[in-house]
A and B are shown apart, each in its own frame.
Chain A
Amino acid sequence: SQTIHQWPATLVQPVGSPLSLECTVEGTSNPNLYWYRQAAGRGLQLLFYSVGIGQISSEVPQNLSASRPQDRQFILSSKKLLLSDSGFYLCAWSVGGVMNGYTFGSGTRLTVV
């Protein structure tokens, strides 16, 4: 079966510290992978998506970057966190095209203090 793993579940980081969030998918090949952020009480904001290894599309210019070093691995990073980076970070995947929708991971709740 296809599963998506996202960790950690919660994270508290000081302002100015680096960030690395990892997402891995099992049971499928060549998925489209996505990073979303949901600020408190807000909608989903697409940050990055990837259709293949090394292929990253950035939706919002900001303090974050993404990488896809392997087919089923997607990493979200920051060199220096800002208070405004706080939020609920969600990884999602789709296979066979987005027309079938996404499946989301369980998310990481990041609090920057």
Chain B
Amino acid sequence: QKEVEQNSGPLSVPEGAIASLNCTYSDRVSQSFFWYRQYSGKSPELIMSIYSNGDKEDGRFTAQLNKASQYVSLLIRDSQPSDSATYLCASYTGGGNKLTFGTGTQLKVEL
């Protein structure tokens, strides 16, 4: 049973638009959540972490967490072609030493 679910995409958005990536999780005790960006052929790179309900902003990126509804989202404002990548959502439930990853959403930003 998967604990972190993501739509595989691809999600296509025009340059300059807002890209919205979503993730749901099944374990209510999940404590921390992370967004990784993975370019084709490269390793994942941590871009955002969020621990509390609400929004967290970092530059063009905003992570949103709603623990009651068990979802996490990542908004990318003013999307650029360089944002085209696969975005992985991950959760940490506590009591263990590992993250649980979703399978990722492919984002394509078109000119």
Contact = CB atoms under 8 A, between A and B. Distances in A.
Interface of A: 32, 34, 42-44, 46, 49, 51, 57, 59, 90, 98-107, 109
A49 B97 contact: yes
Closest 5 CB pairs of A and B: A43-B103, A104-B43, A107-B43, A44-B101, A101-B34
A43 B104 contact: yes
A99 B31 contact: yes
B43 A106 contact: yes
25 contacts: A32-B97, A34-B98, A43-B88, A43-B101, A43-B103, A43-B104, A44-B44, A44-B88, A44-B101, A46-B98, A51-B97, A57-B97, A90-B43, A98-B92, A98-B97, A99-B32, A99-B94, A100-B32, A101-B90, A103-B46, A104-B44, A104-B45, A106-B42, A107-B42, A109-B41
Interface of B: 31-32, 34, 41-46, 49, 51, 88, 90, 92, 94, 96-99, 101-104
